[in-house]
Amino acid sequence: MTRTDTTSASFSKPGSAPQQNWPVILETAGWSDYRLLDMGRGRKLERYGRYTIDRPEPQAMGTPRLDDTTWQRADGVFTGDTDEEGPGRWKFGGSVDETWQMSYGPARYIGRFMSFRHVGVFPEQAAHWDWVNDKVKQDIPRRGDRPLKILNLFGYTGLASILPAAHGAHVTHVDASKKAITYARENQELSGLEDLPIRWICEDASKFVAREVRRGSTYDGIILDPPKYGRGPKGEVWDLYTSLPEMLANLQQLLAKDALFMILTAYAIRSSFLSVHELMAETLHTQGGLLESGELVIREDQGERALSTSLFSRWSSR
């Protein structure tokens, strides 16, 4: 379930600047396998499938609603450095499985207590999953035999690749981590969707994009979810502030003439959504369509509060 504060917005024609809409709040209220149960004092309490998890969250600055006993019953607690990329470790309140299964729509996926406090899924991304799925389902009937091609960069555990592919898109999934590619393919197999048209590519994203530009490749949709900092399989350095502008310039060349969308999400950076918006507006200044930017938030279960998790900017042609 998602909500946005956008009003009806017009779309400008190709060759002109996109219409702009901001700030936009995209809200996820959770689903059967995910809920934000409580938050406060720099932590959040969530349910992922059958497990309740207590993790650091610097943006949870209020006071918890639930009592201490409820928090103390968490199955997993992450302690240590509160920085998104910092070290830490898990403590478990009892016996937990190394992995467990969850689902979203046609996709089944594996939960796993990973380093850097992650569990294999970013639930706020459901707002983008639903939006992309709607674009795919609306566009495919108009295409005849032409496949709808999506490029998913920094694809991590693959839900943003599996879901549109399940609705008929041909997806190229790129991640520099062999472990993440293996994880994503496990999710595809678990979903019973092994025959989906997904290319799994383990490579530095910047190198892959540059090569696709030289080849003259194009895509109808691009999903970009880069880390703040990272390294490719051969030691290539990614720094969001210095690497993103060149990446976006190349991606603009990969958009097909009748492309549908481009999505950029940014986590754990000291910036505003407006900075990301202006960079996208500069990159897509002749693309027409609509450019909207803002924040992804998760609505607290049975509560009035919402937790901001990340910045986003997304363009669509129609």
Comparing 13 with 199, the larger pLDDT belongs to 199
Q: Label residue 4 by pLDDT band (50, 70, 90).
A: very low
Question: 132-159 pLDDT, tens per residue?
Answer: 999 999 999 988 889 999 999 999 999 9
Contact criterion met (CB below 8 Å) for 102 and 95: no
Distance, C-alpha 142 to centroid of its chain = 27
How many angstroms separate the CA atoms of 181 and 10, rounded? Answer: 38
Delimit the CATH 2.60.40.1180 region(s) of the chain: 34-117
The answer to whether residue 169 scores a pLDDT higher than 90 is yes
Tokens, residue 225: 């979810």
Q: CA of 274: how far to CAs of 38, 223, 245, 312, in Å?
A: 29, 19, 15, 9
What is the pTM assigned to this prediction? 0.92
Q: Label residue 2 by pLDDT band (50, 70, 90).
A: very low
The answer to whether residue 270 scores a pLDDT higher than 80 is no
Burial class (CB in 10 A: 0-12, 13-18, 19+), 68: exposed
Delimit the CATH 3.40.50.150 region(s) of the chain: 2-30+121-316
Looking up tokens 């700030």, which residue turns up?
Answer: 23
Tokens, residue 67: 């009592």
The reported pLDDT for the residue numbered 271 is 73
Which fold does the domain 34-117 belong to in CATH? Immunoglobulin-like (2.60.40)
Question: 217-258 pLDDT, tens per residue?
Answer: 999 999 999 988 788 878 888 888 899 999 999 999 999 999
Contact criterion met (CB below 8 Å) for 159 and 167: no
The percentage of the chain sitting over the pLDDT mark of 90, rounded to a whole number, equals 77
Query: Cα dihedral sign for 303, 119, 49, 26?
Result: positive
Question: 105-134 pLDDT, tens per residue?
Answer: 999 999 999 877 899 999 999 999 999 999
Which fold does the domain 2-30+121-316 belong to in CATH? Rossmann fold (3.40.50)
Q: Which amino acid is at 117?
A: R
The answer to whether residue 86 scores a pLDDT higher than 60 is no
How many angstroms separate the CA atoms of 125 and 128, rounded? Answer: 5
Tokens, residue 57: 């969250």
Q: Quick one: DSSP state of residue 13?
A: P
